[in-house]
Amino acid sequence: MIAIFYRQKDKLLVAQSETELSRIKRADVLWIDLLSPTSDEKHTVDDFLGEEIQSRAQAEEIESSSRFSETENAIFANTNFLMPGPDGYSMEAVSFIFVGGCLTTLRDVPLRSFTELQRKVFVMPQLFPTGYSIFASIMDQRVDLDADMIELMSKEIAQYGKRINQREDINEDFLIDINQLQENTMTVRENIVDKQRLIGNLMKSDKYPQELQSRFNIILQDITSLINHTNFSFERLEYLQETVVGLINLDQNNIMKIFTLVSVLLMPPTLVTSFYGMNVPLPFMESSWAWVGLIVFMLVTVGVVIYLFRKKKMF
């Protein structure tokens, strides 16, 4: 699918067919948005721009040379957008190609930031004189969405903290849930740092319009604050994880303490029964009330052990 935003006689229009490019001047095109394009759409845009659009595999490369590169007439930039799902976050590669004042975007999935921006372009076209301003708006909205995800994770971390304070379901599954939240936090931070690197590289380019510097500086400040927030969230998760491990260890120690106490309490009675279980003549064996005396003696020994334990504050 293709969407071409272009100006004609001071009006902002949109075309949804690659054949329309043959009658549009490149200087009039503001934004070409490619969503899972066909081979015909991609080749037509290549010919229109005079540059070959990167493939999906190239867009997903992690090397810095593949994430941002320049030619004589174009800038190629790649980043990932986070998509929340039931099993965690997924990364969706998005490519940005700047040729003059025209921005071309390539993606495989619908993205909320793109959909909202397309509506805004029609409502206030005067705010988007070039493709660079389109890119700045995409980054601005994306950073806001990332901030919302971080805020949701912060609320989830707070809920885990309350559950720990209330000693609610503190077990191995709880520890695994915290570990998964740590993985999500690291994924979000990695994605935000990638955008910071992308904008920083773009601002170093000679093709970058200086009139947008203040706007990109604000976006970079927002990204820095989000990075600090994710660092704090990760440290808080580490603290919660250590707390859970400590509580689990305390529970295990209490269980071992109970077993130890029971073993010590039974040692004197076990010694008496073992002693009188020997097949040799022993005192009081011929008395019919000997078993009563032995039981009383064993109870006394248990009481003495309990007294000594309490005196030593061992339970």
Q: Read off φ and ψ for residue 160, nearest 5 degrees.
A: -65, -40
Looking at residues 287-314, what average pLDDT do you find?
A: 75
- Please count the helices (runs of H) and the strands (runs of E) in the chain: 8, 7
Residue 53 pLDDT > 80: no
Which of the four pLDDT bands, split at 50, 70 and 90, describes residue 108? confident
Burial per residue of 296-310, b for 16 or more beta-carbon CB atoms within 10 angstroms, e otherwise: eebeebbeebeeeee
Hey, is 53 helix, strand or coil?
A: coil
Q: What pTM did the predictor assign?
A: 0.74
Q: 180-205: per-residue pLDDT in tens?
A: 888 888 888 888 888 888 888 888 88
Which range scores top for mean pLDDT: 136-140, 166-170, 174-178, 249-253?
Answer: 136-140
Q: 147-158: per-residue pLDDT in tens?
A: 888 888 888 888
Burial per residue of 199-229, b for 16 or more beta-carbon CB atoms within 10 angstroms, e otherwise: bebbeeeeebeeebeeebeebbebbeebbeb
Looking at residues 280-308, what average pLDDT do you find?
A: 73
Which has more confidence, 288 or 76? 76
CA distance 6 to 31: 7
Beta bridge mates, 8: 11
Percent of the chain having pLDDT more than 90?
A: 1
CATH number of 2-248: 3.30.460.20
Which of the four pLDDT bands, split at 50, 70 and 90, describes residue 66? low
Residue 59 pLDDT > 60: no
Say which residues have a Cβ less than 8 Å from residue 274's Cβ, sequence separation at least 6.
none
Which of the four pLDDT bands, split at 50, 70 and 90, describes residue 285? low
Residue 57 pLDDT > 80: no
Percent of the chain having pLDDT more than 70?
A: 87
Closest CA to 31 of 109, 145, 127: 127
